[in-house]
Structure 1
Amino acid sequence: MDPPLGCNLSSESKHYVCKLKKSLYGLKQSPIAWFGRLTKSMRAFGYKQSDDPDERKALQEYLSKEFEMKDLGTLKYFLGIEVSRSQQGIFLSQRKYVMDLLTETGMLGCKPVNTPMKENHKLGECTDHKPTNKEQYQRLVGRLIYLSHTRLGIAYVVSVVSQFMHSPSEVHRDAVNRILKYLKSTPGKGLMYSKQGHLDVIGYTDADWARSQTDRQSTSCYFTFVGGNLVTWHSKKQNVVARSSAEAEYRGMAHGVCELLWIKHVLTKLGFKPKKPMKLYCDNIAAINIAHNPVQHDRTKHVEVDRHFIKERLEDKTLQFPFVKSEDQLVDI
């Protein structure tokens, strides 16, 4: 850090540095530093994770002595996410965030569309296309990435347009504008969390084989439910080229298995360990057969590590892989 204005340093101290006593906004380390400090303080008070009202009140009183803080009451708005409560449950949305985004980009008066991306899109890197403003494109896609915290429906399309951040063209900007037109038609959509009477863990996984026009890599998608409520979702291009749709689906299953195991670990820490095998739905019979019969060498030699990883989860009864029809595949891209 440079010395602040008005700080006169002598010749002997010209090589001194400033000691940072606070976490600054904008630094990647600041959330980590704050959470580490908070965790240390809570553990010093003898706490483990819980949800008890009396204990929560005692914690607030303790933290108010440890930090400068005050009770703002029931959560209604936090970092662009709106929280609404009713007898049916808790609803999360980013409606104001969407409307502000449309206003800032001049798309508030645009004609809405029903889908965030054209079906069977052919987006790729094209050197003959007219380039667009790189900084504006990156800033806009970054805001869409944050919006996907409550908008599962745009997760895949945002992952696609984010692949061209380094060299966007007018074609890519048109694809982003279509996402904005879709948001215009659905500004208030979000996530509803309600009590379903159970804590069953269920996941859906799918893969879009060789979709990328640039390198022919596939895209994996999954999302998971806990107690009938959507809790996590993900869409990402695979690291290697899959030689068949079964291989792409199998790699996608491995990502879904990792997510379910993480959820099981979190629930166990909270005292709600799943009592029956978790289900991961897949619409590819070949991938399911490979999971149950890994001897099919020709099909499995390219996914050797994933094969053993999934095999162990099946043998210890942690997971099941039921088949779901493509028309009932909720995570279908």
Structure 2
Amino acid sequence: MGMKRLVFKLYCLVVMTLVAAAYTVALRYTRTVSSDLYYSTTAVCLTEIIKLFLSLGMLARESGGLSRCRSSLVEHIFRSPKELLKLSVPSVVYAVQNNMAFLALSNLDAAVYQVTYQLKIPCTALCTVLMLNRSLGRLQWFSVFMLCAGVTLVQWKPAELTKVQVEQNPIVGFTAVAVAVLCSGFAGVYFEKVLKSSDTSLWVRNIQMYLSGIVVTLVGVYMTDGPQVMDRGFFYGYTPSVCFVIFLASVGGLYTSVVVKYTDNIMKGFSAAAAIVLSTIASVTLFGLQITVTFALGALLVCVSIYLYGLPKQDTSVLTRPDSKTAKEKLISV
């Protein structure tokens, strides 16, 4: 059982790392090298639709058949409007976050975005303390301040691109990152609270959230790019690269929900740090990124802080808990 759990964690680590790095670089590529830009709102909406169908497939597999899957949907979807409303909150927030990611990557380099976006860690930590009544150890808070220092160094002298064909605005990019960070922290903790407060299936929760997400993103398409979409079509500007980005976003969204339920901060930290390294290397090759000493030092601090923050808090609490021996005896007696 222990070996299977280790293999599962390693598998999730590898997939999350590759998806995060590939998504950032691919999205950056599609937003900077094409003259006929696709509408980001339609891409976000299509991502929600794909995630819904993938979750339906996983629920059917988990339920053991279409009939049981249908019964589960009737019980948890059509007869539980309150649950749908509850999951609409992260749907709205995630929709805003995804659109901010498009805006940020249209104005920032992929590596700069990847590093600055790690501010979601202290934001998530703060939301966890406030919303889930959890506490963080000194090492975790120290890593938060180290992360902020690293991000500051990265922003001190942002690396310039040499192969970008569209005009960029760093202020708009960093503002979009800030909004995305706040959305990520709140929505992630909120979804975790809902997910772990009941025994409802993960895929049912996903379906509830994605149904709301589709409605929200469709409204976003209409309000933001309605006339253009009606004139040029929903899939205007779509290329194989854009389809690949949407696929990565869909898979990444599903793995995010799996990680929230089954894995820990160590895996998420290693994944984020490895994604930074991979996206930086890719940016050097694809976009001509010139990495400065300041940028390299900041990225290093960020990677170290992510690792420190991911160190197991449970082990520390066990070692420092005065009644740990009593707790162990109670487990043996049970």
TM-score where L is the length of structure 1: 0.27
- The structure whose RCO (Cα within 8 Å, separation 6+) is larger is 2
